[in-house]
Amino acid sequence: MQIIRTILWLLILAALLLFSWANWSPGVTVRIWEGIVVDTRLPAVVLLSFLAGLVPMWLYHRGVKWRLSRRMKALEEATRVSAISPSPSPVAPTTDEPALHDRDDAGATATPNDRPALP
């Protein structure tokens, strides 16, 4: 992946150099405000415009990547801690209803259908 990135940057650099060489002689007048006028070369305007668009998006990308890597590290740490700690012992459920296999007074096993209805 690194070689593709390097080739891409070299192609962008070659295109910028070719553009600069072809458009170097005519000057460009850039009017910033009413009283401020700058005479510059066209490649400088193109390069500054490119960087004005690239740098904020690159900084945003790096910030998101940093935030997500921190979140992943925190989740991995939480997973590692929970995997190491012993699980709690199971607790028997406590209910007010009698168990299904309760014995009645005669010694016979009571089933849910044999129980008297509640008033």
Amino acid at 101: H
Whole-number Å distance between alpha carbons of 107 and 101: 11
28-53 pLDDT, tens digit per residue, is: 888 888 888 888 888 888 889 989 99
Domain ranges of the chain: 25-83
Tokens of 105: 């007074």
Q: Which residue did the predictor score with more confidence, 32 or 114?
A: 32
Per the DSSP assignment, residues forming a β-bridge with 29 are 39
Tokens of 113: 């259908």
**Residue carrying structure tokens 């997973």:** 79
What does the pLDDT read at residue 26?
74
Query: Residue 93: which pLDDT band, with cuts at 50, 70 and 90?
Result: low
What does the pLDDT read at residue 31?
86
Among residues 10, 14, 30, the alpha carbon closest in space to that of 22 is found at: 14
Tokens of 86: 């012993």
Supply the pTM of this predicted model. Answer: 0.53
